[in-house]
Amino acid sequence: MLAGLSAPSVTALFMVITSKSSVLKREFKEKLLSHFRLRPPIIILSIVIFFGIIAVSILLSTFIGQSLNQFAFVDL
């Protein structure tokens, strides 16, 4: 599963690294290292939405008979 998820990124990275275009490599490095576009409120909102979706899906599964133990981080 990890190979399937990482294959597009690895392929793109391979294509940039093996490219003979210095402009492409320079732009890739600039985009990789520039974090000026990242805004903390958007990052926090994304994390909250992610965990909210997980919580809602677990709660919905309790209506079809699953246990609330799904919220546990570890099995005791």
Q: Please say whether the beta carbons of 16 and 28 come within 8 A.
A: yes
Q: Say what the pLDDT of residue 34 is.
A: 79
Q: Say what the pLDDT of residue 1 is.
A: 67
pLDDT tens over the chain, length 76 residues: 677 889 999 999 999 999 999 999 999 888 888 777 778 899 899 999 999 998 898 888 888 888 877 777 776 6
Helix ranges (H only) for the chain are: 2-18, 22-33, 40-62
Q: Say what the pLDDT of residue 70 is.
A: 76
Question: Measured at the alpha carbon of residue 46, what is the angle toward residues 35 and 2, in degrees to the nearest 5?
Answer: 85
